[in-house]
């Protein structure tokens, strides 16, 4: 199982972002990965400030940047001490998303960690269409943190659709949560089931199709576990009939999961162009942290 070598947390110094930094530090301590923290000061905001301050702009700007550097350094030192890791602190000025992506590329981050809500630029960072911008911009796994990091992840839900990215998601789940219980979920629907009923196909026949589809899915999920080298790891398999988004959120609660690892795209060509609708729904509705595995990790 490939390990994650570098974990990068992006913070805007808000409370949710602080939780993200703490989770990143906890993961680094658990996995042995290098740990970095980055904070970006918006160039647009600084330019607006310079326009207001006129002659004293450079001096005030310098003080603001020094203060930001000190705040990030203190945050990284405090959280790093708590989890027994040392943080590489980075401060940048520029386009927020661009600078985060550049820093992730510079350290070749195997995992980028952000809070689900924040202040300023991150307040709507992971909501609606902006989520798609972030995930298109950053071709790396992205962990969206909602919960306070009290302990390592205990129970991880991994929805799989048997696309090539399912194996990557499963391996990433094990790398991020090496000691957690893994729960694989496949949600299936019989093609054209409603139309079959309209065409007069008897209910027993439709039920037979469901049974056959479930049997085939169980075989494929077993093969996926074997391909990931997890046959002896006690991985739980769940195969259910129904709409994927609904079942993922239901099983998150029923299985008491604290992390969901989900692929960025699905099987269709359309979902290769856009963030998959299931992933968007889970990001918006899940109570647990959500790790989105980018397709480049497949």
Give the model confidence (pLDDT) of 59-100 as tens digits.
767 778 888 899 999 999 999 999 999 999 999 988 888 888
Q: What is the pLDDT of residue 200?
A: 67
Q: Where are the domains of the chain?
A: 6-145, 155-297
What pTM, to 2 d.p., does this model score? 0.85
Q: Which of 114, 121, 156 is nearest to 135 (CA)?
A: 114
Do the two domains 6-145 and 155-297 of this chain adopt the same fold?
Answer: yes
Direct distance between the N- and C-terminal alpha carbons of the chain, in angstroms, rounded to an integer: 14
Q: What is the pLDDT of residue 195?
A: 60
CATH number of 6-145: 3.40.50.620
Q: What is the pLDDT of residue 274?
A: 46
269: phi then psi, degrees, rounded to nearest 5: -65, -40
Q: Which residues of the chain have pLDDT under 70?
A: 1-2, 43-58, 60, 117-136, 191-203, 206, 232-233, 265-276, 295-298
CATH 1.10.3860.10 fits 155-297, yes or no: no
């Amino acid at each position: 199982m490939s390990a994650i070598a570098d974990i990068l947390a992006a913070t805007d110094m808000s409370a949710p972002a602080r939780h993200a930094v703490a989770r990143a530090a906890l993961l680094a301590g658990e996995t042995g990965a290098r740990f970095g923290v980055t904070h970006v000061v918006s160039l647009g905001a600084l330019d607006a400030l310079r326009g207001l301050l006129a002659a004293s702009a450079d001096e005030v700007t310098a003080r603001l940047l020094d203060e930001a550097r000190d705040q990030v350094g203190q945050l990284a030192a405090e959280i790093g001490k708590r989890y027994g890791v040392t943080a590489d602190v980075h401060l940048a000025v520029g386009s927020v998303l661009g600078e985060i992506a550049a820093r992730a590329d510079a350290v070749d981050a195997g995992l980028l960690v952000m809070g689900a809500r924040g202040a300023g630029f991150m307040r709507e960072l992971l909501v609606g269409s902006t989520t798609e911008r972030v995930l298109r911009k950053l071709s790396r796994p992205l962990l969206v943190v909602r919960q306070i990091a009290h302990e390592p992840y205990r129970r991880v839900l991994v929805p799989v659709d048997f696309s090539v990215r399912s194996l990557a998601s499963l391996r990433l789940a094990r790398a991020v949560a090496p000691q957690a219980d893994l729960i694989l979920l496949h949600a299936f629907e019989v093609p054209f089931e409603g139309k079959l009923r309209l065409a007069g196909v008897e209910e027993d026949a439709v039920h037979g199709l469901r049974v056959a589809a479930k049997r085939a899915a169980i075989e494929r999920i077993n093969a996926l576990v074997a391909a990931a080298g997890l046959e002896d790891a006690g991985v739980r398999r769940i195969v259910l009939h129904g709409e994927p988004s609904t079942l993922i959120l239901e099983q998150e609660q029923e299985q008491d999961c604290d992390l969901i690892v989900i692929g960025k795209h699905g099987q269709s060509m359309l979902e290769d162009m856009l963030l998959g609708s299931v992933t968007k729904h889970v990001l918006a509705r899940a109570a647990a942290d959500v790790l989105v595995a980018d397709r480049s990790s497949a």
